[in-house]
Amino acid sequence: MTVVKLDRRPAPGAAQVVPKLEARGITKFYRRDDEKLPVLENFSLSVADLEFLVLLGPSGCGKSTLLRIIDGIEPCDAGHIILDGKDVTGTTGAGRGMVFQGFELFPWRTVLGNVAFGLEVAGVGAKERTGIARDYIDLVGLSGFENSYPHELSGGMQQRVGIARALAIDPTVLLMDEPYGALDVQTRELLQDELLNIWERQRKTVVFVTHSIEEALYLADRIVVMSPRPGRIEQIIHVPFARPRRDEIKSTREFLDLRRDIWQSLKRGAHV
Amino acid sequence: MTARLQRLALPCLGFAALLLIWEVAGRSLGPALLAPPSIVAIQFVELLRQGEMLRELSASLRQMAIGFIAACLVGMPLGVAMGRSQVADAIFRPWVSMFVVTSTAALIPLFILFLGTGLMLRVTIVFLASVWYITLTTYNGARGISPQQVAVARSFSASRLQIFWKVILPALYPYLLTGARIGLVHAIRAMVLAEMFVIIGYGGLVHRSGLSLDTAPLLSLLITLMIVSLALNWLLGAAGRRLAPWYEQQRVGA
């Protein structure tokens, strides 16, 4: 494991002492017939409070599975998820909000109904949740579309709804599973900037899954490069770029060098 | 504009061609074998004026409605249970598979023995003819519900009951509606069939007309039934679209 020490955050050591979120010895098998295929084996990771962590890797490296285990919607065969010092393995909520890859909006609900969903199932009253949902719809720039149905919106707009839906329950940890994987490049870059804007204002811990090196470098404080079968950490990279970040950094020497490093590390992992 | 014209003009053209063929055939065969549309139209207006046709039809449809609604009330929950629970699936699927391929007509003589020729017979036959289609359509819908959408609800810590009411039921809605529409078609057919066996109601009217030497009244009755069936089916669809504006964009089977 190579650790590139290029630190922007003042005290990552201190943050490691009291991690916001921890995966401890996570093991997950997929069962096909009588065969057990390991997706993750004894995988451990900790995320500092307010950190923007990106899990980067090729498909099949278990990054999405890990995220779903962290969220509690997928069971694991061994290991623990510790959030704020409490064991939350196999349970959902407790400050986690998830944004899904295929948007996964409810087609029978309007934008407002989708964003208010989490508050609704949590028993927040109609008037209050509508007010909160409107605020978050405004935050993602969809004012005026409250009463539209998902099928009336573009992919980018649908994922903005997905983000507002996750933010509406005011999570302390935002889990994002390749949220822009289904979008075209322009929309993706627009949404990346919007996400950084929101993150800088809302102050949340983010765990973001992607297979795009550029996306990882542009967004992350720290990138965990994973390699497949079973998923393991190939390399951890502390991303040095100052915030707020702008598009121009993508053409800097440092960015391109890091991109090449990561690409090589991914290739190494793939050949194992 | 031309596309719209085509959409309207082509079905009209097909319809006109059919009427023309029917007219020519009817005139050469004579009204005892096949009354031409020009004569059927006059007969149709006459039957509307007399009122018996529509009176019998509405009475029959009311009885049909009892069987059909009962079929929805049984078929929909049964389909959901089978689609969401492997135990329910294992218990009920053999029965549903057997009954759905059974000819309703073949069951009628048996049920006349059990139930006589009254209301219960017709309600039962209508029920048996439609319930399996409603069940199977709902079943397929319930099996096909996206696990991802259920995962979203779980991610927001929705309870099992909340998942059922807020995700599974709305996701099933297009299937419930399609099941009801397919079921309704079968229910109306079964209604006429059962009534023809015991010569009562609208089916009885059809049966008696079939014995006469003039095919014009029979054809009028069939056309009326066709129009009413289509109208009811359309009405159910329109009600569905009104209740769920997103429905049109949802692909059943997606």
Confidence of residue A110 (pLDDT cuts 50, 70, 90): very high
* DSSP per-residue letters across A118-159: HHHHTT--HHHHHHHHHHHHHHTT-TT-TT--GGGS-HHHHH
Query: At residue B53, does pLDDT exceed 80?
Result: yes
Amino acid at B237: G
Query: At residue B248, does pLDDT exceed 80?
Result: no
- pLDDT tens, position by position, A18-66: 788 998 989 998 888 788 888 888 889 999 999 999 999 888 788 999 9
Q: Within a domain: residue B31? A: no
DSSP annotation of A231 reads B
pTM: 0.80
Residue, of A99 and B239, whose pLDDT is higher:
A99
Q: What is the mean pLDDT of residues B31-53?
A: 87
Mean pLDDT over each residue of chain B, to the nearest integer: 88
**B68: exposed, middle or buried (Cβ count in 10 Å: 0-12, 13-18, 19+):** buried
Q: Is A236 on the interface with B (CB under 8 A)?
A: no
pLDDT confidence of residue A11: 46
- pLDDT tens, position by position, A134-150: 999 998 989 999 999 99
Q: Within a domain: residue B21? A: no
Alpha carbon of residue A42 to chain centroid = 21
DSSP annotation of A103 reads -
Query: At residue B239, does pLDDT exceed 90?
Result: no
Residue found under tokens 């079943």: B139
Please provide residue A172's backbone torsions phi and psi, each rounded to the nearest 5 degrees: -90, -25
**Domain interval for residue B134:** 54-249
Cα distances from A158 to residues A57, B167, B222, in angstroms, run: 25, 18, 49
Q: What percent of chain A is predicted at pLDDT more than 90?
A: 44
Interacting residues of A120 by C-beta distance below 8 A, sequence separation 6+ = A129, B166
Q: Is A127 on the interface with B (CB under 8 A)?
A: no
Q: How far apart are CA A177 and CA A66, in angstroms?
A: 10
Question: What residues of chain A lie within 8 A of the CB of B157, using their CB?
Answer: 92-93, 121-122
The alpha carbon of residue B163 is apart from the nearest alpha carbon of chain A, in Å, by: 9
Question: What residues of chain B lie within 8 A of the CB of A98, using their CB?
Answer: 152, 155
Record: contact B249-A107, CB cut-off 8 A: yes
Record: contact A108-B146, CB cut-off 8 A: no
Q: Within a domain: residue B193? A: yes
The alpha carbon of residue A103 is apart from the nearest alpha carbon of chain B, in Å, by: 10
Query: At residue B254, does pLDDT exceed 50?
Result: no
Q: Number of A to B CB contacts under 8 A, please give it.
A: 62
Confidence of residue B252 (pLDDT cuts 50, 70, 90): very low
Residue of B nearest to A93 (CA): B157
Confidence of residue A5 (pLDDT cuts 50, 70, 90): very low
CATH class, domain A2-95+173-180+202-271, is: alpha beta
Q: How far apart are CA A149 and CA A146, in angstroms?
A: 8
Question: What residues of chain B lie within 8 A of the CB of A150, using their CB?
Answer: 246
Q: Is A120 on the interface with B (CB under 8 A)?
A: yes
Record: contact B249-A122, CB cut-off 8 A: no
Tell me if A231 sits within 8 A of A23, measured CB to CB: no
Q: How far apart are CA A76 and CA A89, in angstroms?
A: 8
pLDDT confidence of residue A7: 44
Length of chain A in terms of residues written: 272
Record: contact B246-A107, CB cut-off 8 A: yes
A242: three-class secondary structure by DSSP:
coil
Record: contact B159-A71, CB cut-off 8 A: no
The alpha carbon of residue A19 is apart from the nearest alpha carbon of chain B, in Å, by: 22
* DSSP per-residue letters across chain B: -HHHHHHHHHHHHHHHHHHHHHHHHHHHH-TTT---HHHHHHHHHHHHHH-HHHHHHHHHHHHHHHHHHHHHHHHHHHHHHHHH-HHHHHHHHHHHHHHHHS-HHHHHHHHHHHHTTSHHHHHHHHHHHHHHHHHHHHHHHHHTS-HHHHHHHHHTT--HHHHIIIIIHHHHHHHHHHHHHHHHHHHHHHHHHHHHHHT-HHHHHHHHHHHSS-HHHHHHHHHHHHHHHHHHHHHHHHHHHHH-TTGGGSPTT-
pLDDT confidence of residue A161: 95
pLDDT confidence of residue B249: 56
Scanning A52-81 for CB atoms below 8 A from B yields: 68, 71-73
The alpha carbon of residue B107 is apart from the nearest alpha carbon of chain A, in Å, by: 41
Q: What is the mean pLDDT of residues B186-213?
A: 89
Q: How far apart are CA B191 and CA B106, in angstroms?
A: 14
Burial A49-80 (b: 16+ CB within 10 A, else e): eebbbbbbbeebbbbbbbbbbbbbbbebbebe
Cα distances from B151 to residues A62, A73, A80, B246, in angstroms, run: 18, 6, 20, 21
Report the residue from A68, A102, A149 with minimal CB separation from B245: A149
Could you tell me the residue ranges of all domains in chain A? 2-95+173-180+202-271
Start-end of H helices in A86-237: 111-115, 117-121, 126-139, 155-168, 185-202, 213-219
Total domains in the fold of chain B: 1
- A187: tokens are 């929309």
pLDDT confidence of residue A231: 84
Query: At residue A98, does pLDDT exceed 60?
Result: yes
Confidence of residue B52 (pLDDT cuts 50, 70, 90): confident
Query: At residue B240, does pLDDT exceed 70?
Result: yes
Q: How far apart are CA B217 and CA B40, in angstroms?
A: 7
Mean pLDDT over each residue of chain A, to the nearest integer: 87
Q: Within a domain: residue B15? A: no
Query: At residue A2, does pLDDT exceed 50?
Result: no
Q: How far apart are CA A176 and CA A62, in angstroms?
A: 14
Query: At residue B127, does pLDDT exceed 60?
Result: yes
Q: What is the mean pLDDT of residues B180-202?
A: 91
pLDDT confidence of residue A247: 82
Q: What is the mean pLDDT of residues B174-194?
A: 92
**B155: exposed, middle or buried (Cβ count in 10 Å: 0-12, 13-18, 19+):** buried
Confidence of residue B237 (pLDDT cuts 50, 70, 90): confident
Query: At residue A238, does pLDDT exceed 70?
Result: yes
Scanning A152-191 for CB atoms below 8 A from B yields: 169
Q: How far apart are CA B204 and CA B217, in angstroms?
A: 13
Question: What residues of chain B lie within 8 A of the CB of A107, using their CB?
Answer: 246, 249-250
Q: Is A201 on the interface with B (CB under 8 A)?
A: no
A109: three-class secondary structure by DSSP:
coil
Q: What percent of chain A is predicted at pLDDT more than 70?
A: 93
Query: At residue B154, does pLDDT exceed 90?
Result: yes
pLDDT confidence of residue B5: 78
Question: What residues of chain A lie within 8 A of the CB of B145, using their CB?
Answer: none
Residue of B nearest to A98 (CA): B155
Record: contact B152-A149, CB cut-off 8 A: no
- pLDDT tens, position by position, B161-172: 999 999 999 999
A61: three-class secondary structure by DSSP:
coil
Confidence of residue A268 (pLDDT cuts 50, 70, 90): confident
CATH number at residue B194: 1.10.3720.10
Which residues of B make CB contacts under 8 Å with A? 146, 148-149, 151-159, 162, 166-167, 170-171, 173, 244-246, 249-250
- pLDDT tens, position by position, A179-217: 998 888 888 999 999 999 889 888 899 999 999 999 999
Q: What percent of chain B is predicted at pLDDT more than 90?
A: 48
Q: How far apart are CA B207 and CA B203, in angstroms?
A: 6
Q: How far apart are CA B223 and CA B230, in angstroms?
A: 11
Q: How far apart are CA B170 and CA B162, in angstroms?
A: 12
Residue, of A187 and B73, whose pLDDT is higher:
B73
Q: How many CB atoms lie within 10 A of CB A271?
A: 7
Q: How far apart are CA A270 and CA A211, in angstroms?
A: 13
Question: What residues of chain A lie within 8 A of the CB of B173, using their CB?
Answer: 108
Confidence of residue B251 (pLDDT cuts 50, 70, 90): very low
